């Protein structure tokens, strides 16, 4: 053992929310006084025994990577991606897909049980036939040296150069590599987050798997003019020649210190400023900042499940809270008398309106407002719906919105969630208003990661 480090064989007793192994070891300090040391060990699985070396200084909890798997989980598999042990994109490639799915189901069950719901309402998680190459949108980062890649696990300052990505659509990675080669050939600098200097920041790639159209967005700190003009021209030439399905090529100026893919000024380099996507026969326009479900194969199942659970009827009114660009609104609108949607992002509401029109749907009303305030307005102006669907962000809908739903007394509530933890606390709020949880169906939208999505039905129990 090195003087400044200690080596242990630790047994992983469980996983944290990020999917990392948790273990406890006892430090023998030689005075009959062993000290408890909690370890977070990424890339391990429950029950595994792993060799780890802990460097000084040692605090109450330490994050260490496994040096050797001494006793492996029976479902451990060889991760296929060469970037797996460093990249922050996937954390569970070393777990057989069945194991990932069971773990997600059990996680949802545990959270519901904690809130006093019956765990057997939770169905087995619906997985993918092919849990790879499923993402239709990726955001890659340029390192300060100008290499394009993905963030290292737990370290947003380090970027791993991109060779492949097994969860993104294959053509998306090819187009990203073309941009990476272009940056390298022209020796363009990447953005240095500490010094706030350098040109290239991020590359966003999104592709519709239905229409095949691709959007590429280069986020940079300067305008594509002056000395940069001929360099950018070369980007346009090579991308459009090699990938004719790139229907939108954008240059997005972003000088903000915040490390986000936002634009102060958008320059259209080629094509249009949006691409077309389709889901369940409905057509959507997607701009660079439009939220759209990132796993279209599974998102389709989510919408179908929501329809199956919600049982929309031609005679009924419906509200879609947190409606985005109308992914749920449009298919539901064709099945109900009238639908009202609320969403906080104005451009998404503009898009939802346009999408409704493009699809010749004329019974929708969309309101751009914070759901916490908009819900009162919509209930007053639109009336009480028989069916209410909500699909909030990870932070959940919150008590205020849930209690307002409870007081409004719609017959059926369909809750679509990307965070079972906030889902469980949100639906607890509906209980005093006479709602019963009927069914919970987890769906795996993010294979190889810890995330799980679900659709659930609650109905009002008649007294
Ligand atoms: C998980 S997405 C669902 C969007 C849509 N249902 C879909 O499937 O495309 C959550 C949406 O809630 C919106 N949102 C976030 N906070 C909100 C708030 N306080 N009020 C209304 N909408 C909000 C986001 O902009 C986002 O479009």
Could you tell me if the CB of 344 is within 6 A of ligand 1? Answer: yes
**Per-residue pLDDT, 89:** 83
Domain count, the chain: 3
**Per-residue pLDDT, 87:** 83
Could you tell me if the CB of 327 is within 6 A of ligand 1? Answer: yes
Cα–ligand 1 centroid distance for 86 (angstroms): 31
Q: Is 89 a domain residue?
A: no
Q: H or E segment at 402?
A: helix 399-408
On whether both 243 and 219 belong to a single domain, the answer is yes
Cα–ligand 1 centroid distance for 371 (angstroms): 9
Q: Decide if 340 contacts 367 (C-beta within 8 A).
A: yes
Cα–ligand 1 centroid distance for 132 (angstroms): 26
Could you tell me if the CB of 291 is within 6 A of ligand 1? Answer: yes
On whether both 182 and 320 belong to a single domain, the answer is no
**Per-residue pLDDT, 3:** 67
CATH number at residue 173: 2.40.50.1070
Could you tell me if the CB of 393 is within 6 A of ligand 1? Answer: yes
436 annotated to bind ligand: no
287 has pLDDT over 60: yes
48 has pLDDT over 80: yes
Given ligand 1 and candidates 300, 305, 326, 392, which is best to mutate, with the most ligand atoms within 8 Å of its CB?
Answer: 392
The string of pLDDT tens digits covering residues 351-383 is 999 999 999 999 999 999 999 999 999 999 999
150 has pLDDT over 90: no
On whether both 344 and 253 belong to a single domain, the answer is no
On whether both 324 and 428 belong to a single domain, the answer is yes
Q: Is 397 a domain residue?
A: yes
The string of pLDDT tens digits covering residues 125-135 is 999 999 999 99
On whether both 173 and 249 belong to a single domain, the answer is yes
Q: Which residues make Cβ contacts (< 8 Å) with residue 305, sequence separation at least 6? A: 441, 443, 455
pLDDT interval class at 159 (50, 70, 90): confident
User: Could you identify the residue written with the tokens 């008590």?
Assistant: 399
The Cα–Cα gap between 159 and 147 comes to 8
Q: Is 286 a domain residue?
A: no
Q: Is 288 a domain residue?
A: no
On whether both 302 and 415 belong to a single domain, the answer is yes
**Largest distance between two CA atoms of the chain:** 78
On whether both 120 and 142 belong to a single domain, the answer is no
Both structure tokens of 416: 């679509």
Q: Is 57 a domain residue?
A: yes
17 secondary structure, DSSP code: T
Which residue range is the domain that position 61 belongs to? 5-71
On whether both 265 and 209 belong to a single domain, the answer is yes
Q: Which of 46-50, 56-60, 385-389 has the lowest mean pLDDT?
A: 56-60
The string of pLDDT tens digits covering residues 14-32 is 999 999 999 999 987 776 7
59 has pLDDT over 80: no
Could you tell me if the CB of 370 is within 6 A of ligand 1? Answer: yes
On whether both 385 and 341 belong to a single domain, the answer is yes
The string of pLDDT tens digits covering residues 208-225 is 999 999 999 999 999 999
Q: Is 121 a domain residue?
A: yes
293 annotated to bind ligand: yes
1 has pLDDT over 60: no
Q: Is 263 a domain residue?
A: yes
On whether both 298 and 441 belong to a single domain, the answer is yes
Show which of 71, 90, 118 is a domain's final residue: 71
Q: Which residues make Cβ contacts (< 8 Å) with residue 368, sequence separation at least 6? A: 342, 343, 344, 345, 346, 348, 349, 350
Cα–ligand 1 centroid distance for 447 (angstroms): 22
**Per-residue pLDDT, 2:** 57
388 has pLDDT over 80: yes
On whether both 223 and 362 belong to a single domain, the answer is no
The string of pLDDT tens digits covering residues 80-114 is 999 898 887 889 999 999 999 999 999 999 999 99
On whether both 54 and 110 belong to a single domain, the answer is no
The string of pLDDT tens digits covering residues 332-353 is 999 999 999 999 999 899 999 9
DSSP of 126-168: B--SS-SS-BSEEEEEE-TTS-EEEEETTEEEEEEEPS--SSB
pLDDT interval class at 13 (50, 70, 90): very high
Could you tell me if the CB of 293 is within 6 A of ligand 1? Answer: yes
Strand partners, 138: 205
What percentage of the chain has pLDDT greater than the value 70? Answer: 99
The string of pLDDT tens digits covering residues 106-120 is 999 999 999 999 999
Could you tell me if the CB of 389 is within 6 A of ligand 1? Answer: no
Show which of 279, 305, 340 is a domain's final residue: 279
Cα–ligand 1 centroid distance for 370 (angstroms): 9
User: Could you identify the residue written with the tokens 């977070």?
Assistant: 40
The pLDDT of 153-162, averaged and rounded, is 76
**Per-residue pLDDT, 11:** 97
463 has pLDDT over 80: no
CB count, 10 Å around CB of 436? Answer: 13
What global pTM score does this model have?
A: 0.92
Q: Which residues make Cβ contacts (< 8 Å) with residue 403, sequence separation at least 6? A: 429, 433
Show which of 71, 92, 114 is a domain's final residue: 71
pLDDT interval class at 57 (50, 70, 90): confident
**Per-residue pLDDT, 257:** 83
22 annotated to bind ligand: no
Active site residues: 418
Both structure tokens of 410: 């719609």
The Cα–Cα gap between 397 and 392 comes to 6
pLDDT interval class at 256 (50, 70, 90): confident
Q: Is 230 a domain residue?
A: yes
């Amino acid at each position: 053992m090195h003087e400044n480090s200690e080596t242990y064989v630790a047994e992983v007793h469980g996983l944290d929310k990020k999917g990392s192994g948790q273990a406890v070891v006892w430090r023998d300090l030689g005075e009959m006084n062993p000290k408890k040391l909690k370890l977070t060990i990424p890339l391990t699985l429950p029950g595994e025994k792993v060799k780890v070396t802990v460097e000084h200084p040692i605090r109450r909890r330490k994050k260490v990577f496994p040096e050797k798997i001494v006793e492996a989980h029976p479902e451990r598999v060889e991760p296929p991606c060469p970037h797996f042990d460093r990249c922050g994109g996937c954390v569970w490639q070393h777990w057989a897909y069945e194991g990932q799915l069971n773990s997600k189901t059990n996680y949802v069950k545990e959270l519901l049980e904690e809130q006093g719901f019956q765990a057997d309402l939770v169905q087995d998680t619906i997985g993918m036939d092919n849990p790879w190459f499923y993402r239709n949108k990726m955001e890659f980062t340029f390192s300060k040296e100008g290499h394009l890649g993905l963030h290292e696990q737990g370290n947003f300052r380090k970027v791993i150069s991109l060779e492949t990505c097994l969860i993104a659509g294959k053509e998306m990675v090819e187009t990203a590599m073309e941009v990476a080669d272009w940056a390298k050939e022209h020796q363009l600098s990447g953005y240095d987050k500490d010094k706030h200097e350098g040109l290239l920041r991020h590359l966003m790639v999104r592709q519709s798997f239905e229409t095949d159209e691709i959007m590429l967005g280069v986020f940079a700190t300067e305008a594509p003019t002056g000395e940069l003009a001929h360099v950018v021209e070369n980007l346009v030439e090579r991308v459009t020649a090699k990938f004719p399905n790139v229907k939108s090529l954008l240059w997005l100026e972003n000088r903000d210190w915040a490390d986000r893919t936002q634009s102060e000024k958008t320059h259209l380099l080629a094509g249009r400023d949006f691409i077309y996507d389709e889901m369940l026969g409905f057509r959507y326009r997607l701009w660079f900042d439009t939220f759209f479900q990132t796993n279209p194969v599974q998102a389709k199942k989510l919408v179908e499940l929501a329809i199956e659970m919600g049982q929309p009827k031609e005679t009924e009114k419906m509200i879609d809270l947190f409606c985005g660009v109308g992914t749920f609104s449009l298919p539901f609108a064709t099945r109900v008398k009238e639908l009202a949607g609320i969403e906080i992002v104005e451009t998404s509401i503009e898009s939802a309106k346009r999408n409704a029109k493009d699809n010749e749907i004329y019974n929708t009303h969309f309101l751009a407002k914070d759901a916490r305030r908009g819900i009162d307005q919509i209930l007053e102006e639109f009336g009480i719906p028989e069916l209410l669907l909500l699909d909030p962000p990870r932070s959940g809908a919150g008590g205020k919105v849930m209690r307002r739903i409870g007081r409004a007394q719609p017959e059926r509530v369909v809750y679509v969630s990307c965070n079972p933890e906030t889902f469980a606390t949100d639906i607890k709020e509906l209980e005093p208003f006479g709602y019963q949880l009927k069914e919970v169906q987890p769906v795996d939208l993010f294979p190889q990661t810890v995330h799980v999505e679900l659709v659930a039905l609650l109905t009002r129990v008649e007294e």
